[in-house]
Amino acid sequence: MNSLTTKFLKGAVISIGALVFILCVVWLPTMAKYSAELFPEFAYLKWTVLVGLYLTAIPFGVALFQAFKLLTCIEKKHAFSGEAIGSLGRIKLCALMIMVIYVLGMIFLLIQNALHPGIAILGMIISFASATISVFAAVLQQLLQNALELKSENDLTV
């Protein structure tokens, strides 16, 4: 992967992180207030849902940081390193955490009889995407681990 590609991907990671941060600081509280005013029967869920969404922003931010570290490893030609394997492992765990938070949130809203079908579909899409990212990161992690072991064996035979 050439330097231009990794720089583009790093820029994309930074842009996504900045956009999510702005959405968390500006848009989410505004939408929570608006929703509580529009649907007063569900206003008691405002802070619970807001905290749940903020909780998902934490592993998302960690995953973005790990993706940035992984791109730095690739840029420095250290793609087959323990650091890259560790970053993929942390991305896998972060994706699993996001999936679990969304599934638990949907269960909570269902118990509260507040799970709108649109919210359920969006939650399922996010959960499925997180599960897919987690599985993909696990496969890449194992592939990288095998390549690193082969590289170590090759270095020892020379």
CB neighbours of residue 53 within 10 Å: 17
pLDDT along the chain (158 residues), means of 10: 90 98 96 95 95 97 98 93 96 98 98 95 98 98 93 80
The pTM of this model reads 0.91
CB neighbours of residue 124 within 10 Å: 13
Nearest by Cα to 96 from 59, 134, 63, 132: 134
Predicted local confidence at residue 126, as pLDDT: 98
**How many angstroms separate the first and last alpha carbons of the chain?**
27
Q: Is the dihedral of CA 133, 138, 143, 148 positive or negative?
A: positive
Predicted local confidence at residue 152, as pLDDT: 84
Predicted local confidence at residue 154, as pLDDT: 84
Q: How far apart are CA 131 and CA 141, in angstroms?
A: 15
Predicted local confidence at residue 21, as pLDDT: 97
Contact 62/17 with Cβ under 8 angstroms? Answer: no
